[in-house]
Amino acid sequence: MTQVEPRPAARRRAGVETLPVDGERWPDVAAVPRASWPVRAVTASVLERALRRLPLRVRFAGGSTLGTGGPLIEVRDPKAFHARIGTRGLIGFGESYMAGEWDAPDLVGALTVLAAHAADLIPAPLQGLRGVWAQRQPDRQRNTPDGSRTNISRHYDLSNDLFALFLDETLTYSSAVFRGFPADWSLLAAAQQRKIDRLLDLAAVREGTRLLEIGTGWGELALRAAARGAHVTSLTLSKEQRELATDRVREAGCADRVSIELCDYREARGSYDAVVSVEMIEAVGAEFWPVYFRTLNRLLAPGGRVALQAITMPHERMTAARHTYTWIQKYVFPGGLIPSTQAIEETVRDHTALAVAARDGFGAHYAETLRLWRERFTDRAAEVGALGFDATFRRLWTFYLAYSEAGFRSGYLDVQQYLLTKEDPAR
């Protein structure tokens, strides 16, 4: 696989020195793990039993084709494919794609089938032994205040230029809300602003509102809130995002109404009429969900409102995978964990004085958002390479975006907008 060495300036700006990149820095991808013949044979047998019943076609080089028909997966190097999965499970499956050992003409279609049948891929006896064979999340990825800064930096400090290549002009990195499907790229910016306006409406943000935003992104929500006359304090742990968001605020003439702080949510102080947090809870970690919601409760004034946007997964799947180390955690979102609606609502109930007043799911909109991002990323792959991100990184991000889209298309993932309220005892 051809590698593109990052230019030194690009590497410093992107922070890619914090991630493995080429043969030396992608050690788990560049070298096929050693696996004995029995390990490969057992892996092949387990996979054959699972794949032959799925609506897929899995074609092995020089060998058989499995599945009942559907999207095609071409396994170019069966020995390496089985070795990676046999030694690293689903992490190995993703690494095998990164290494080019398998491919799919319709990657989203193939991954959608796998996501929909995830429970069928591992035999029931092995499911019960998940704690034995599955890798555990490393302690270094715990979302302590220091750990969170490192975890956030590894993704969001990659490069503002990288994200600008596949996001729309609002630089919004969360699900949009469209008027209809299929969506078109030219409609994405308006759909993102529609999503933001729905959240600001939920939180009743208007002239004079004291608004706290947890998770700045690149500043679009803060700007739209300021345009309503709100006074916004926005918190982020990403130095790259803060730098660009601060520039955008200044250029929009909103510096007197928007303050962007490099600050952990646990360190926030003050009292606010409204709190908005968009797809930030996924980076909190189950261990700290009570702390996160207690913080919202502490910072929200009586009578205030919280608008929360969160990716969710079914509770039983979340519970099963809660302590498992995944490919996404290793390569994309260190320390991340997607909650269930049950986990969110039980945590709010058990640890705060907040009440869940409304919830609205719109997962199909996220599938469309991700499709547009993925297509844009693919179309601009050469520009991604010119920023210093090599071929392995580009396959990594293609897999990440396709894998995420498949999660929403299969129903494995959903996205919610929550309204949480806090009673005013004086009323």
Amino acid at 271: S
User: Is the CB of residue 61 less than 8 Å from the CB of residue 78?
Assistant: yes
82-132: pLDDT as tens digits: 999 999 988 999 999 999 999 999 999 999 999 999 877 665 555 554 455
Alpha-helix residue ranges (DSSP H) falling in 55-77: none
pLDDT at position 286 over 60:
yes
Q: Percent of the chain at pLDDT above 70? A: 90
The closest alpha carbon to 373, from 343, 348, 403, belongs to 403
pLDDT at position 13 over 90:
no
pLDDT of residue 3: 35
**Distance (Å, whole) CA 278 – CA 234:** 12
pLDDT of residue 24: 53
Region of poorest pLDDT, from 68-72, 119-123, 132-136: 132-136
Does residue 182 have a cis bond before it (omega within 30 degrees)?
yes
* Chain-centre distance for alpha carbon 36: 34
pLDDT at position 8 over 70:
no
Residue 180 tokens, joined: 């209809």
pTM for the model stands at: 0.92
pLDDT of residue 173: 98
200-231: pLDDT as tens digits: 999 999 999 999 999 999 999 999 999 999 99
pLDDT of residue 162: 98
pLDDT of residue 139: 85
Residue 35 tokens, joined: 């696996």
- Detail the DSSP E strand segments found in 105-228: 210-214
**At CA 162, angle to CA 309 and CA 91, rounded to 5?**
70
**Distance (Å, whole) CA 111 – CA 175:** 20
pLDDT at position 269 over 80:
yes
Strand partners, 65: 59
Q: Kind of pairing, strands 258-262 and 231-236?
A: parallel
pLDDT at position 16 over 70:
no
155-200: pLDDT as tens digits: 999 999 999 999 999 999 999 999 999 999 999 999 999 999 999 9
pLDDT of residue 126: 54
Torsion of CA 181, 358, 413, 220, to 10 degrees: 70
The closest alpha carbon to 196, from 234, 157, 164, belongs to 234
- Indicate the domain borders of the chain: 32-134, 141-422
- Detail the DSSP E strand segments found in 194-243: 210-214, 231-236
User: Is the CB of residue 371 less than 8 Å from the CB of residue 108?
Assistant: yes
**Distance (Å, whole) CA 110 – CA 197:** 35
Section 337-364 average pLDDT: 98
User: Is the CB of residue 223 less than 8 Å from the CB of residue 189?
Assistant: no
The closest alpha carbon to 364, from 196, 233, 176, 222, belongs to 176
Please write down the HEC assignment for all residues of 26-60.
Answer: CHHHHCCCCCCHHHHHHHHHHHHHHHCCCCCEEEE
Topology at the third CATH level for domain 141-422: Rossmann fold (3.40.50)
pLDDT of residue 137: 79
pLDDT of residue 12: 35
**At CA 159, angle to CA 155 and CA 161, rounded to 5?**
135
pLDDT of residue 23: 46
Mean per-residue pLDDT of the chain: 91
Q: Kind of pairing, strands 102-103 and 354-361?
A: unpaired
**Distance (Å, whole) CA 265 – CA 214:** 7
pLDDT of residue 123: 59
Amino acid at 206: R
Q: Percent of the chain at pLDDT above 90? A: 83
Section 125-140 average pLDDT: 63
Section 1-16 average pLDDT: 36
